[in-house]
C-alpha cells in the first residue's frame, strides 16, 4: 500500500477500505503497478493499493512470499531476495 499517487505507472480507480494494524480504517481509492528503485535496481510491484491518508508505505510479507520472494528478518537486518539472485533489498534495522 502506498500514499504516493505519483509512483504509479498503471492505475485503476476503485473505492474500498483497508484496516491497518492499529485498527484504523482508511479509504482506498484504487490500485495498480508501481516502479521503484531498490538498492539501485528498478523494481516493479503489482497490485499496489493507493491509500492517500496512509502516511507511509506498507508491504505485505505474505504477498511477497506468494511471489517467490524470500524474506528474512534478524535482530539486525531485513533481506528480500529471489532464489538464485542477489538480495533486492538489504536493510540494517535500527
In this structure, the answer to whether residues 17 and 54 fall within a common structural domain is yes
94: confidence class by pLDDT, cuts 50, 70, 90: low
- Distance, in Å, from the CA atom of 33 to the CA atom of 45, rounded to the nearest integer, reads 6
17: confidence class by pLDDT, cuts 50, 70, 90: very high
In this structure, the answer to whether residues 76 and 33 fall within a common structural domain is no
For 48-88, the pLDDT digits (tens) are 999 999 989 998 888 888 888 888 888 888 888 888 887 87
Burial of 81 (0-12, 13-18, 19+ CB in 10 A): middle
Burial of 70 (0-12, 13-18, 19+ CB in 10 A): middle
Q: What is the pTM of this model?
A: 0.79
In this structure, the answer to whether residues 21 and 46 fall within a common structural domain is yes
Count of structural domains, the chain: 2
Residue 21 maps to a domain = yes
Of 85, 84, 83, 9, the residue nearest 50 (C-alpha): 9
Specify the pLDDT at position 86: 79
40: confidence class by pLDDT, cuts 50, 70, 90: confident
What is the span of the domain harbouring residue 91? 68-94
Amino acid at each position: 500500500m502506498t500514499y504516493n499517487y505519483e509512483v504509479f505507472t498503471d492505475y485503476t480507480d476503485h473505492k474500498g477500505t483497508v484496516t491497518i494494524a492499529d485498527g484504523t480504517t482508511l479509504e482506498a481509492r484504487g490500485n495498480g503497478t508501481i516502479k521503484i528503485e531498490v538498492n539501485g535496481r528498478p523494481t516493479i510491484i503489482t497490485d499496489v493499493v493507493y491509500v492517500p491518508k496512509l502516511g507511509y508505505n506498507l508491504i505485505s510479507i505474505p504477498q511477497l512470499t506468494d511471489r517467490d520472494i524470500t524474506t528474512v528478518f534478524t535482530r539486525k537486518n531485513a533481506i528480500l531476495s529471489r532464489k538464485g539472485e542477489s538480495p533486492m533489498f538489504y536493510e540494517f534495522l535500527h
